[in-house]
Amino acid sequence: MKINGEIIFTYKSESNARVVFDSLEVDNENYLKSSLNGNSIEYQINNDKLGSFLATVDDLIASEIVVENIINKTK
């Protein structure tokens, strides 16, 4: 079974989106496709196993929350 998903994060500014994109891209490079579009980041997640798909989504969201918290605390 092929499982596909899309997650879009939208930020207040393009610079915040760039910081998150650059911070997460290193870890995500081989696991999902990502694109930066202005103040949004779009992630395409594809996997053959539900467990792997959910783990990837969970890791992505957890990592995004960490970066977003850092951005908010350094302003």
Query: What CATH number does residue 48 fall under?
Result: 3.30.310.50
Q: What angle do CA 35, 37, 42 make, to 5 degrees?
A: 45
Q: State the chain's mean pLDDT as an integer.
A: 94
Instruction: Give the helix/strand (H/E) hosting 64.
Output: helix 50-73
Q: What is the pTM (predicted TM-score) of this model?
A: 0.88
For 15-38, the pLDDT digits (tens) are 999 999 999 998 877 789 999 999
Is the confidence at residue 51, as pLDDT, over 90?
A: yes
Q: Go through the chain and tell me how many residues it has.
A: 75
Which residues form the domain of 35?
3-73
The structure tokens listed for 16 are 């915040």
Report the domain count for the chain: 1
The pLDDT confidence band at residue 2, using thresholds 50, 70 and 90, is very high
